[in-house]
A = this chain, B = another copy of it.
């Protein structure tokens, strides 16, 4: 019962957050916001009982995520056949420094999606590549050469529905036990964030830096 209360939207018994259910988050907006804030997901595929976990660029498109990879990749070919997968995005937000080892932890926002991918083709595939580019660096797509037919053939684009998803958020300071409060130990948390450094032009670049690059993740 208590676990059901904390089930995330679209969760099933498989994605229900069993450990520390108070960290489960229920609203769909939080699910979307985490996916929209991340750049890289970790995607699993199983071959003969052995899981493989690979980092992928992605984008959210409504109630699904879009993932692209190489058509020549065995893992992507497996995923395209609809083999069960898990898609996980973790945004590390900092360290939680409690007065005990046991209560010390990390702050993070995390999403886990279970399901099966479908491969996109034709116009859907073209649109998905733009959506992924727009997610990673808004404004870039209009400046670059779109994929040729040959490059499209070398690219596999998958969509995974957000039907079965769980969300966990851990934020703020430590939750020390009463009996540890007397300890002469600094307690609190240290935020972490990902920041962009100065753009580095290619040696053969002759063009001015666009505003959308300059302002990215600053």
What are 22 A-to-B residue pairs whose CB atoms are below 8 Å?
Answer: A18-B72, A18-B74, A40-B92, A44-B51, A51-B85, A53-B86, A53-B87, A55-B92, A99-B145, A101-B129, A102-B154, A176-B204, A185-B207, A187-B204, A187-B205, A189-B200, A190-B213, A191-B197, A192-B195, A192-B197, A193-B197, A195-B195
Identify which of A3-11, A23-31, A135-143 touches chain B: A135-143
Interface: A45 (CB within 8 A): yes
A54 to B84, CA, bound (A): 16
- Bound together, the chains give a CA A54 to CA B174 distance in angstroms of 22
Interface residues of A, CB < 8 Å — how many?
93
Given contacts A42-B53, A53-B87, 6 further A-B contacts (CB under 8 A): A46-B46, A55-B110, A95-B216, A100-B146, A102-B147, A190-B216
Tell which of B49, B51, B144, B192 touches A101, judged by Cβ atoms closer than 8 Å. B144
Report A59-111 residues with CB < 8 Å from chain B CB.
Answer: 70, 72-74, 84-88, 90, 92, 94-95, 97-102, 104, 106, 108, 110
Q: Measured between alpha carbons, how far is A183 from B202 in the docked complex, in Å?
A: 13
